[in-house]
Structure 1
Amino acid sequence: MDNSLDRRRYAPATERNRAPILEILQQVLPPTGTMLEISSGTGEHAVFMAPQLAPRYWLPSDPNPDARASITAWQRFAPCDNLYPPIDLDASSSEWLVESKEPITAIVNINMIHIAPKSAYLGLFAGAKRILPIGGILYLYGPFKQGGVHTAPSNAAFDESLRSQNSAWGIRDLAEITTVAQSHNLALQQVYSMPANNLSVVFKIK
């Protein structure tokens, strides 16, 4: 392969968190259907998860064209029959391209809501309400505050760093997220403690 033409991107955290995330997804995702990944980033999670979660289908998405190019490059590097090409999707949009396509039974969102404005996670929950069937799953992974308090000093430092880069970013409080979810017919099902002071948070459409 000509490395100069390889547009794959790498996120070091992916190799550390992908196996623990997969373990939770295998427990909570519906047994069949299409899983929509919001904010797929490099595409490393997509190519790792899809073959392990068959016969489910995995649909990656990202609003960033460079990210979508990376996802496509990873797909060419590690082809998988149940992994769709990435689509252009901005979580904050009032309508998602995927709404006119095949039914989505679950949404997976990894490490987005703390590095995005509030409009992104508000749009995420609104989109989940629009497209998920009754019993559909919304899975979130990342750092969260609980009861207004950071779960570790490292998370507090990370939060400060995020806000210094962009005042609209920052680690969200789980109670705030849950309240927004409930307003969109999403009931909190389970919270799992994960490595590196992160959480897996599972919601289900009522």
Structure 2
Amino acid sequence: MSAKQHAPATLRNRDPIAAVLAQELPARGRVLEIAAGTGEHAVFFADRFPALLWQPTDPSPEALASIAAYRADYGGTNLAAPLLLDAAAPEHWPVAEADALVCINMVHISPWEATCGLFRGAARLLGSSGGGPLILYGPYIEAGVETTASNREFDASLKARNPLWGLREAEALDALAAQHGMARSARHALPANNIMLVYR
């Protein structure tokens, strides 16, 4: 039985995400993907950006096994072996440097402490890379922007599964970034009521 897991949303969102990444990622360097999940995004983006070394990470052993299984079928040389990384514990991250961080669909499906750790770790790693980006993808609540019914329902379902989960306010992320010497540099609207927020 294959260790590969499949996230149906990946096939729908990978091209729009890649279009934004093409604008925001450096031409070369190491991209650290936090909470890489199944590994399907990692393989797709490594293939799309061959000049970048893509480093997937996840705190779940099942996810790491899935990433490794997809990587085994990848023909390129720029997809690193997955690493165990818990965003909530940035002092124990197994990575000392990165030129960009990418985090897809983690912020709302994890405790707030994971997002706090994400920004703390990003500030440490990116501070020495000359201002590389932290790029987040997912659904967010924004001041002055009406939250769609589908996102409100999604938020309620997340909180029913785990009261520590739920859609976060973009302005709360901005404030968190400021605490670590970072600021939002871009907002990109994507399909299905998702957005990408970029911090530097």
The two structures share one fold, judged by TM-score above 0.5: yes
CA positional deviation for 1:182: 1.2
Tell whether 2:155 aligns with 1:159.
yes
SS in 1 for 2:48: helix
- Aligned equivalents of 1:86, 1:168: Cα separation in 2: 26
Q: Identity, % of aligned pairs? A: 45
1:94 to 87, 90, 106: 90
Tell whether 2:112 aligns with 1:112.
no
TM-score, structure 1 length as denominator?
0.93
Closer, same or farther: CA 152–90 of 1 in aligned 2, 3 Å = same
Divergent runs of 4+, >3 A: none
Closer, same or farther: CA 156–68 of 1 in aligned 2, 3 Å = same
Q: Tell me what 1:121 maps to.
A: 115
Aligned length: 197
Instruction: Map 1:27-176; keep pairs closer than 5 Å.
Output: 27-95=23-91, 96-99=93-96, 103-132=97-126, 133-147=129-143, 151-176=147-172
CA positional deviation for 1:148: 7.7
TM-score, structure 2 length as denominator?
0.96
Tell whether 2:160 aligns with 1:200.
no
Give unpaired runs (5+ residues) of structure 2.
none
CA contact (8 A) 1:150 1:156 kept: no
Tell me whether 175-184 or 147-156 shows the greater mean CA deviation: 147-156
Q: Tell me what 1:183 maps to.
A: 179
CA contact (8 A) 2:158 2:165 kept: yes
CA positional deviation for 1:54: 1.7
Query: What is the CA RMSD across the aligned residues, in angstroms?
Result: 1.1
CA contact (8 A) 1:47 1:80 kept: no
Tell me whether 37-46 or 133-142 shows the greater mean CA deviation: 133-142
- Aligned equivalents of 2:3, 2:95: Cα separation in 1: 25
Closer, same or farther: CA 150–89 of 1 in aligned 2, 3 Å = farther
- Aligned equivalents of 1:195, 1:56: Cα separation in 2: 26
- Aligned equivalents of 2:100, 2:168: Cα separation in 1: 22
- The one-letter code of the counterpart of 1:142 is G
SS in 2 for 1:17: helix
- Aligned equivalents of 1:16, 1:51: Cα separation in 2: 17
